[in-house]
Structure 1
Amino acid sequence: MEYRVKDLGLAERGKLQIEWAERNMPVVARMIRERFEREKPLKGIKVGAVLHVTKETAALVRTLKAGGAEVRLAASNPLSTQDDVAAALVKDGIEVCAWRGMNEDEYFSCIEFVAKWEPDIVIDDGGDLHAMLHDKFPSIAGKVWGGTEETTTGVIRLRAMEKQGVLKYPVIAVNDARTKMMFDNRYGTGQSTFDGILRATNILVAGKVVVVAGYGWVGRGIALRAKGLGARRVIVTEVDPIRALEAVMDGFEVMPMREAAKVGDIFITATGNKAVIRKEHMELMKDGAILANAGHFNVEIWIPDLEELATEKREIRPCVTEYRLKDGRRIYLLGEGRLVNLVCAEGHPSEVMDMSFANQALSVEYLVKNKGRLPAKVYNVPLEIDQEVARLKLKSMGIEIDELTEEQKKYLESWKLD
């Protein structure tokens, strides 16, 4: 077995963390796993994954293994790995290359550790594995049966690859499943983003002005939670007129970032784009402004501009870097501008990741069953999988719903006036 983790001695603690997560993930860690153990739909399949190495990811990986797969796992962020979980997975027979605090070279070497393994199926979070396979190892990419993508940023990259005609295998956009996007992105990120901000700063949100950049599902969730925590004002910045209008109708203020920069106390980016907060905005911010990023990559808050404006910087608390500007103002950057919920906290609650990773497990099974039948395109999660995840989640919660009668089905299928 090959692996690179911080300390195998942490495995027992990691095992307890995984146990706690799986207790709250009945769909992927019990319902789907029990079927996978019986049927072995992934027997002999090599699954290469680049994901945040957390206790929730462990639940998914263990279910894939229960289904007969060999799994190799690397981190999708240099600062998001939970080292005790990584150690526990190695003890559980998973080849892992991940530890918290990797430098850039180490980060990409671990992704290469997965790519060179020549996996049959690839699971990615952010698109770095997909990009590396196509850019550095095209011959390996050409043999991949199919892949999945966990997050908005990665789906954007994959759709660009498809548009340019370079995508070599079919990819299922797990991020876009309704049981992922509407719950993980909205409720998961909404809660976990503030979990990260509060663990890092211990500030009071009530009475503050919170600025949310982007009003996709992630931005919606963050804005909603800011309001619930008592923010005095919640301001949304957007480039999409439809989303901006939606934010207005949802009761939030909408304005350009150049105006929001003057009044905000806490700024949270959630766009998937680069340089959303940059020099021209930082120059307008009040003393003590806090900057946090909820997007996948550390490019939304343009750190080179912050470095250029600062005369000095220091880590004033774990996860909090103070930048002092020439005029004496201070701006505080959380988690080096990386995913604040995973760098400064533990990521999404297990309950919501249950649905996201159930989609992943069932999408991997779908790709195996449909090997060679799907052209190299980006696909939505099949509706039957999306609905099955919702049904299983409701069942695990003890909730029943109505079913259409045959008469109702016939009525919905008819177009005639009578």
Structure 2
Amino acid sequence: MTAPISERLDDPDAARAEGRRKIEWVRQHMPILSAVSERFEAEQPLAGERIGMAMHVEAKTAALVEVLAAGGAEVAITGCNPLSTHDDVSAALDAVEGVTSYAERGVDDEAYYAAIEAVIGHDPTITVDDGGDMVFAIHEDYPELLGTVVGGCEETTTGVHRLRAMDADGALEYPMFAVNDTPTKRLFDNVHGTGESALAAIAMTTNLSWAGKTVVVAGYGYCGKGVAKKASGQNADVVVTEVDPRRALEAHMEGYDVMPMAEAAAEGDVFVTTTGNRDVIVEDHFEVMQDGAVLANAGHFDVEIDIEGLADMAVDSYEARDGVRAYELADGRRIHVLAEGRLVNLAAPVALGHPVEVMDQSFGVQALCVEELLEGDYDAGVHDVPDAVDREVADIKLAAEGVGYDSLSDAQREYMDSWQHGT
């Protein structure tokens, strides 16, 4: 049976101290979670609940976990990616009253899924997921729990896609909030969070400049838009590849070169996948890439770049830098893959994930959605985040920033709600 992280570290006290230092830093910059935590501590809306979480276990996530614990919940957590856990933060969380952390960086697949099973062993009444692995495991292997799970929240695009597919097949047995799809998450976390953190992780891992590079962005959803916008802002030439004609047209109208990956493969210096789908960059593309091409994934799972196919083509591979594996082809060209093709902004050795201020919004929504699940009456299936919850998060953030905004007058509201007013 998987033991909590504190029982597996050589020096858990030192790890806890360093992890606590990181957590306290991010909490200073998270006014939304601070406001929610203050209310949760006073009202105890989560008392008696058991929350099972599979998330990227780093300092910002730890702040969310502590808010949920402050609200009275018992929380068990593990990672949602084998390379995104910060062990010191995981150890610090494990020392918090009411929290058990099983997350550990660098585990193999067997240990990864064993940790998810350990969290499920706490018999969660609520799940908070990033990618859908915990929800899927409960449905597949622990159906006896389905009657006691009140509901859950899903953080990321890939997870929401999985849940909607489950729902369409009639296989989703409890209500899930699509946190990824709500405006205060999608418009900020996906655009600014992914855009800034992915490019920062790539730059720190490679020590290369963006200026003058040709950056190929695969996918022009919200994450792809963020990567393209931020790369262009650092004086890179941006090429977008897409499978949706409307998004391809949008990218074209916003000034980017748009072409199929088969053409873009020969043009790019750096490739960033953001699709959430598999086989985005494959053998045909490797065959025409320039010597020194850098490949990174900013989607969720490590299936967007066909690393097995690249390894089969290579005559040699080696660690060129920490987090950078070089694959040398028969003609001498070298193709570099970052963070094993996993989520580069969290899995690269120096990656820190999204900026603190961005995750404050996303995790504020998460915390309030957990409360909403207990207060509301939701049927099994995927649900949008209630508009009132999303607006509350935006209101807290604007107040903390000292930003005011207008409100509709009664006359304006009546005008907008009426069909009888014409020209």
Q: TM-score, length-normalised on structure 2?
A: 0.96
Q: How many residues align?
A: 414
Of residues 389, 393, 415, the one that matches 1:389 is 393
Q: Say whether residues 1:157 and 2:162 are aligned partners.
A: yes
Q: What's the counterpart of residue 62 of structure 2?
A: 58
Structure 1's unaligned 5+ residue stretches are: none
Amino acid at match of 1:25: M
State the Cα distance separating 1:74 from its structure 2 match: 0.5
Question: In 2, distance between residues paired with 1:302 and 1:276?
Answer: 8
Where does the alignment leave 5 or more consecutive residues of structure 2 unmatched? none
Residue 191 (1) aligns with residue 183 (2) = no
**Which residue pairs with 1:209 in the alignment?**
214
The answer as to 2:248 corresponding to 1:244 is: yes
Q: Which residue of 1 aligns with 2:76?
A: 72
Q: Deviations over 1:170-201 (max 9, x none)?
A: 00000001000110000000000011101110
* Structure 1 residue 4, shift from structure 2 partner: 2.4
Q: Deviations over 1:101-136 (max 9, x none)?
A: 111111111111112221000000001001111111
Residue aligning to 1:369: 375
> Partner residue of 1:3?
4
Separation in 1, partners of 2:181, 2:65:
21
- DSSP-derived class of the 1:212 partner: strand
C-alpha separation in 2, matches of 1:69 and 1:225: 39
What code does the residue aligned with 2:19 have?
G
Cα offset, 1:403, TM superposition:
1.2
Extract structure 1 runs of 4+ deviating beyond 4 A: none
Q: Could you say which residue in structure 2 is the equivalent of 1:105?
A: 110
Aligned match of 2:261: 257
Identity %: 50
Secondary structure of the corresponding residue to residue 78 of structure 1? coil
Question: Hey, what's the Cα distance between the residues in 2 that align with 1:417 and 1:143?
Answer: 50
Measured in 2, the distance between the counterparts of 1:106 and 1:296 equals 19
Q: Report the Cα distance in structure 1 between the residues aligned to 2:128 and 2:242, rounded to whole angstroms.
A: 30
Aligned counterpart, 2:361: 355
Is 1:405 aligned with 2:406? no
Among 343, 364, 383, the residue aligned to 1:339: 343
Alignment of 1:84-103 (within 5 A): 84-93=88-97, 94-103=99-108
Q: After superposition, what is the alpha-carbon deviation per residue over 1:244-265, rounded to whole angstroms, capped at 9, x for unaligned?
A: 1110111111000000000100
CA displacement, residues 248-307 of structure 1 (integer Å, 9 cap, x when unaligned): 111111000000000100000000000100001111101000000001100000111111
Aligned partner of 1:32 among 36, 47, 58: 36
1:141, distance to aligned residue in structure 2 (A): 2.6
1:325 aligns with 2:352: no
Superposed CA RMSD in Å reads 1.1
Shift of residue 2 of structure 1? 5.8
Q: Distance in 2 between matches of 1:331 and 1:35?
A: 51
In the alignment, residue 240 of structure 2 is paired with which amino acid? V
1:83-116, CA deviations, whole angstroms, 9 ceiling, x for partnerless residues?
A: 1111111111320001111111111111111122
Residue 146 of structure 1 corresponds to 151
| TM-score, L = length of structure 1 | 0.97
Partner of 2:297: 293
In 1: Cα distance, 2:273 partner to 2:113 partner: 25
Distance in 1 separating the partners of 2:250 and 2:421:
35
The residue aligned with 2:224 is 219
Code of the residue aligned with 1:54 in structure 2: it is E
Aligned counterparts of 1:174 and 1:415: Cα–Cα separation in 2: 32
